[in-house]
Structure 1
Amino acid sequence: MGKAWIKLVDEAETPAAEHDAADLIVATCLAAAANGDSNALFDLGVAYSTGSHGVGCDMIEAHKWFNLAAVGGHEEAAQCRADVADEMTAREIAEAQRRAREWLRSGRAAA
């Protein structure tokens, strides 16, 4: 597997300085995701599905990032997307898919 962008930690045990570093990690992942890095897309899905690294738990965003990672060829992303979808309504899944299409159309994801 490729480079891991996010190391999961317990936010409650993380000092404020490390929260700033976590925010930087998310920003780095977003930049890499914009360049089509499927590992960064996957790591963003992990962050949103667990509510770590300065982002709140958001299953719609998690599904979006896992979906984009799966489209980009990430091996684990499709299973994680399915796991997240099990906790979502059909309307939430449709919104996640709309957001993923919007991300792709915006040109932020370079193939």
Structure 2
Amino acid sequence: MTIALGVEALETAEPVLSDVEMYRLGLEASTGGDHGIFDLITAHKWFNLAAMQGNLEARAYRAELAKEMTAEEIAEAQKLAREYLATHRAKNN
């Protein structure tokens, strides 16, 4: 039964964004984007996810952001990244 639920969840999961898309979302959150709202936790999440896919620029930005964040904020960003991965699947090419 657990396997069936896992397969069902995978089939209904949204596709994972590309590293470039994640990097751009990180930039938008870290600079305030069009709305001027800075969100370092969300930025760290996107940079972390992009870095996991091999994006070197995202890795550098994530490291810079981490210097400005508390341990609790980083932990929250990492939790959000794990949640994203749990609810998304790789795109079919």
Which of the five TM-score ranges fits, normalised by the shorter chain?
0.7 to 0.9
Aligned pairs for 1:1-111 within 5 A: 34-54=15-35, 56-107=37-88, 109-110=89-90
Deviations 1:55-78 (A, max 9, x none): 620000000000000001112111
Alpha-carbon offset, residue 53 of structure 1: 2.6
TM-score (norm 1): 0.64
Higher relative strand content: 2
Higher relative helix content: 2
Point out the more displaced range, 46-55 or 63-72: 46-55
Deviations 1:16-73 (A, max 9, x none): xxxxxxxxxxxxxxxxxx4431001000000000001336200000000000000011
TM-score (norm 2): 0.76
Aligned residues of 1:66 and 1:77 also touching (Cα < 8 A): yes
- After the TM superposition, list the runs of 4 or more consecutive aligned residues in structure 1 that deviate by more than 3 angstroms: none
Does 1 or 2 have the higher relative contact order (CA < 8 Å, sep 6+)? 2
Structure 1 residue runs of 5 or longer lacking an equivalent are: 1-33
- Residue 55 and residue 97 in structure 1: after superposition, are their counterparts in 2 closer, same or farther (change >3 A)? farther
- Residue 54 and residue 110 in structure 1: after superposition, are their counterparts in 2 closer, same or farther (change >3 A)? farther
> How many percent identity over aligned positions?
48
Q: What is the alpha-carbon distance in structure 1 between the residues aligned to residue 37 and residue 82 of structure 2?
A: 22
Structure 2 residue runs of 5 or longer lacking an equivalent are: 1-14
Q: What is the alpha-carbon distance in structure 2 between the residues aligned to residue 38 and residue 84 of structure 1?
A: 18
How many residues matched? 77
**Structural RMSD (CA):** 1.5
